[in-house]
Amino acid sequence: MNYKQLLRKYTKPSKKGFNLVELVATIAVIAITSGATLSVFLMVHQVTNDASEITVNQFNVTQMERLIRNEVVVASDIDIALGAGFNTGGAYSADVIENDEYIMYDSVTKSVCFKRADSSGNFKTVFVIDDVSEMQISVAPLNDVVADKDGQPYKFFYNVVTAHYEYSGGFVLNNTKIGSDESMQYAAVKTKTLNWKSGSMDNDYVFAFHREVTDVPDSSTP
């Protein structure tokens, strides 16, 4: 039997089921279809993962923005000073009163900590932003172009960099007035920027402020 006869034998319709050519064709179609299905599945899986990560990052950014704004936007008597001065026995510890607060960076844990003084003047951690590789804080007069800045409020800008997202924000500190309060006395300048990151000399400094406490309306009140 030659090759032509052998091939003809396996290409003839068979009552027993598929012939060899039909079987090979079926396997090929299944393989192609399976490959396409797998590609689509992997694509959908990747898109879903990306969407989930974006959603988580957006949530983290929103929470971080809300926390920073809630704490700092009501600040008065702001300053930038050595963090050690606020601890017991430090240069500024005798002046600490309830609701004084400062923001510091821990380069070891890569976290930004918000600490608030209680009625005894002891600072407690309010909340922590984790996984921060770098954070920049800038304080300046609202209009720092004009020569006479007295009477202006300060503006506050921040930029946070983590492994997953980077976020910038800012707002005006309406409770501060240049020349009429004690803001930026330790810093000795009206404009100051801190750049917190691993190895930075700025890591020893904190952004300190008095947090003005306001009454929050009862949500049950119509």
Owner of token pair 């969407």: 51
Q: How far apart are CA 79 and CA 148, in angstroms?
A: 20
CA–CA gap between residue 202 and residue 84 (Å, rounded): 13
pLDDT tens over the chain, length 222 residues: 555 555 455 455 555 555 555 655 666 656 655 556 666 656 665 656 555 666 666 666 677 788 888 888 889 999 999 998 888 778 888 888 999 999 999 999 999 999 999 988 899 998 888 889 999 999 999 988 788 888 899 999 999 998 877 888 999 999 999 988 888 888 878 889 999 999 999 999 999 999 887 544 444 443
Cβ-count burial 196-222 (b if 16+ within 10 Å, e if not):
bbeeeebbebbbbbbbeeeeeeeeeee
pLDDT at 91: 83
The pTM (predicted TM-score) of the whole model is 0.70
